[in-house]
Chains A and B, each alone.
With several copies, the nearest count.
Chain A
Amino acid sequence: MAKVTVFHEYCKSCGLCIAICPNKVLEIGDKANQKGYYTVRTNDESKCTGCSLCGIMCPDLALEISK
């Protein structure tokens, strides 16, 4: 069982994590951060395997993965 944490103020809503996640764990949320970006959120955390692909692709270190 794994967990992905989103640091919302770092996220720029680029979607690279969403595109790479093999398990469709992530999606664009409906809340904008200070900078006005609608940041990602997890839809169903239970699906996360902790493979960290999203973190590897995230250009802004907005994701932290734990296992």
Chain B
Amino acid sequence: MIDKILLAGFGGQGVMFIGKVMAYAGMLSDSQVCWIPSYGPEMRGGTANCSVIISDEEINSPVIDTADVGIVLNQPSYEKFITLIKPGGVLVVNSSIVEAAASRTDITIIRVPASEIANDLGKANLANMVCLGALLSSLNLINNISIKKAVETIVGSKKPELCQLNLAAVNKGIEYSVC
């Protein structure tokens, strides 16, 4: 079993962070994982994106041509990455800032007003975690338990309350997931 995940948004929206959380979640549940950032001069105030592979077998080729699922947090990313999701795949969209024209019918597009939800939770920059929650049920090898462990190892140790907030955001997101 394998999950190939694409994550994209602005620098500062915490794209790399949710990638790390998922990779950790996979690792803590003894799957093979690898987290691949995109890097380069485009960085300069541009979009940030990374991909995560979670697998129950050794991960040889870490090159993702098409992904099973993805999360996009802003418009440019949506346009750039919607084409890279496999037919039958799932794409979570932060509908608060992305107008997702239903350009594809062969994949499930989950629209989550993540920014609003995050604002309600009192932390605008938790939109990423909300979207992560919305994607969870579409993943084979990690779930909200492993995510909890992951968030605790990464954030928790330092600031427990922040940890709670993050998990709250995840749970809000889960409400939007396809079951």
Contact = CB atoms under 8 A, between A and B. Distances in A.
So, do A and B actually touch in the complex, CB under 8 Å?
yes
Interface of A: 12, 32, 34-36
A34 B75 CA distance: 9
Contacts of A36: 10, 74-76
Interface residues of B, number: 6
B75 A12 contact: no
Interface of B: 10, 45, 74-76, 97
Contacts of B75: 32, 36
Given A36-B74, A36-B75, A36-B76, A12 B45 contact: yes
Contacts of A12: 45
Contacts of B76: 34-36
A36 B75 CA distance: 8
Contacts, number: 9
Given A36-B10, A36-B74, A36-B76, 6 more contacts: A12-B45, A32-B75, A32-B97, A34-B76, A35-B76, A36-B75
B87 to A, nearest CB: 28
9 contacts: A12-B45, A32-B75, A32-B97, A34-B76, A35-B76, A36-B10, A36-B74, A36-B75, A36-B76
Top 7 A-B residue pairs of the complex, sorted by shortest distance between their CB atoms = A36-B74, A36-B75, A36-B76, A36-B10, A12-B45, A35-B76, A32-B97
A22 to B, nearest CB: 28
Contacts of A32: 75, 97
A32 B76 CA distance: 12
Which of A12, A32, A34, A35 has its CB near the most chain B CB atoms (within 10 A)? A35
A12 B45 CA distance: 9
A32 B97 CA distance: 10
A16 to B, nearest CB: 15
Contacts of B10: 36
A46 B81 CA distance: 44
A31 to B, nearest CB: 12
B147 to A, nearest CB: 28
Contacts of B74: 36
A15 to B, nearest CB: 14
A35 B74 CA distance: 10
